[in-house]
Structure 1
Amino acid sequence: MLAQQRQAAILDRVRASGGVRVSELATEYGVSDMTIRRDLEALADRGLLEKVHGGATTVTPGSAHEPGFAAKSERQRTEKAAMAMRAAALVSPGDAIALSAGTTTAGLAQRLVDVPELTVVTNSIPVADIFYRAGRPDQTVVLTGGTRTPSDALVGPVAVAAIGTLHLDMLFLGVHGMSERAGYTTPNLMEAEVNRALVEAAERLVVLADHTKWGTVGISSIVPLDAADVLITDDGLDAAARDLLAEQVAELIVVTAP
């Protein structure tokens, strides 16, 4: 097991039980106490857990915590709708685009079902379902395949391999968090790998992230802030963050929620 994978598993244990012991983790993963202490120190340095004598305890909901799709759908609904409307204006008939997994991109999908001759690649089961239900014969929808996550994303080598042969006009990327230090992040290591493959396949990267994502750091970085050609957010984002992001991304679009 790689150090990153072991640290993600440790965070899962902390989240589930509220705390862990060094000795128990060392036995479970077949490594030394010192290796586990280094893992805990690395996670604590990133603010993901709190080290205590002999182990570690949880802090605020960790960066490896991944809410389900239904739970995330209830958050910032008006902001996401406004962002989706603005993002849809970037799409033209005949485009080949990708939509990553997420509730914001699912909202965008609902606004794209009437775009003629669209080709859509996605690793999101809900996104694919929106297009399949629309049933337009002139649209092509490609679902990557892969292993399912709690947020209904498909991840793993099957998904990465499917994306690796594609060349797309644009990727619409939903993220768990964004920060100056970590860039755009996700709480799922394998989803980050798939997202990076999507970024590589697309000519342009459009990130959709509402204001609550600022300062949130998931366990795995996808790409730095300046990798985005366009960042769409909402007017709940504070002025300092707007100024920083405006310097980092090629185009910052701030929408007003109704």
Structure 2
Amino acid sequence: MLAPQRQAAILDRVRASGGVRVSELATEYGVSDMTIRRDLETLAERGLLAKVHGGATTVSPGSAHEPGFAAKSVQQRAEKSAIAARAAGLVSPGDAIALSAGTTTAELAQRLVDVPSLTVVTNSIPVADVFYRAGRPDQTVVLTGGTRTPSDALVGPVAVAAIGSLHLDVLFLGVHGMSERAGYTTPNLMESDTNRALLGACERLVVLADHTKWGTVGISSIAALGEADVVITDTGLDATALALLSEEVDEVMVVEPA
């Protein structure tokens, strides 16, 4: 098992049980205590867990806590990949789309680089970079500009102004959290303004949210649950949450992670 795979598995264990011991992990994965301690140190530096004597525990971030792009990219990789694959099937050649910032939308971008004559508007540096690296001359990529957040989103009045005169087909929105009360949320006040501007420029809203986003509430709401035309999530979403979501959203697509 490679270190990133082991770290992702450790993180899942911490979230499931609330805490782990170094000695137990070393035995389970067949590595030394020092290797596990390095894994925990790496995850702690990314803000994904809290190191304690002999192990690690979960962290309890507030509604304004914003993890960095690298920290989020190691979470729920299989779920994000499956969600992105399903979302890619909603895009056709010649579409004009918006991709918000987020690791799931960055995953989606990887699957769209071969779509002919695509126009993409994004406030995400990693998303734009995917298309710039592909360098297709028949694709148009617009990066909004703005103030950079810890999650590599560009936000604020410059971003909002860049979006204001656009008319696009669909917004693929990555979210920090979603709940019945707060809808789709973000921990960054300016990012919610930018996302609402993207929403206003698009005819349809497709929300990309793995099951861990349910019940998480960021400081600022982007939209109510019912404003989404489609939500793509995964089979980890519990039945109660799925029922609530299905009552509010026209179409909920549930994918099976590989």
Question: Scaled by the length of structure 2, what TM-score is found?
Answer: 0.77
Matches within 5 A, 1:22-61: 60-61=60-61
Give the SS at the match of 2:109: helix
Give the SS at the match of 2:218: coil
- 1:140 is matched with 140
Query: How far apart, in 1, do the equivalents of 2:257 and 2:164 lie?
Result: 36
- 2:188 is matched with 188
- 1:209 is matched with 209
Could you tell me which amino acid in structure 2 is paired with residue 232 of structure 1?
I
Deviation digits for residues 43-63 of structure 1, max 9, x if unmatched? xxxxxxxxxxxxxxxx93101
Query: How far apart, in 2, do the equivalents of 1:60 and 1:116 lie?
Result: 43
- 2:124 is matched with 124
Query: How far apart, in 1, do the equivalents of 2:60 and 2:103 lie?
Result: 23
Deviation digits for residues 172-208 of structure 1, max 9, x if unmatched? 0000000000000000000000000000000000000
- 1:231 is matched with 231
- 2:108 is matched with 108
- 1:28 is matched with none
> Mind listing any 5+ residue stretches in structure 1 that lack a counterpart?
1-58
Query: How far apart, in 2, do the equivalents of 1:198 and 1:217 lie?
Result: 20
Instruction: Name the Cα RMSD after superposition.
Output: 0.7
> Mind listing any 5+ residue stretches in structure 2 that lack a counterpart?
1-58
Q: Where do 4+ consecutive residues of structure 1 move more than 2 Å? A: none
Give the SS at the match of 2:215: coil
Give the SS at the match of 1:61: coil
Give the SS at the match of 2:212: helix
- 2:7 is matched with none
Give the SS at the match of 1:231: strand
Query: How far apart, in 2, do the equivalents of 1:184 and 1:166 lie?
Result: 23
Query: How far apart, in 1, do the equivalents of 2:254 and 2:146 lie?
Result: 34
- 1:156 is matched with 156
- 2:250 is matched with 250
Give the SS at the match of 2:161: helix
Give the SS at the match of 2:237: coil
- 1:198 is matched with 198
Percent identity reads: 82
- 2:176 is matched with 176
Query: How far apart, in 1, do the equivalents of 2:140 and 2:160 lie?
Result: 19
Give the SS at the match of 1:204: strand
Query: How far apart, in 2, do the equivalents of 1:60 and 1:115 lie?
Result: 40
- 2:43 is matched with none
Could you tell me which amino acid in structure 2 is paired with residue 169 of structure 1?
D
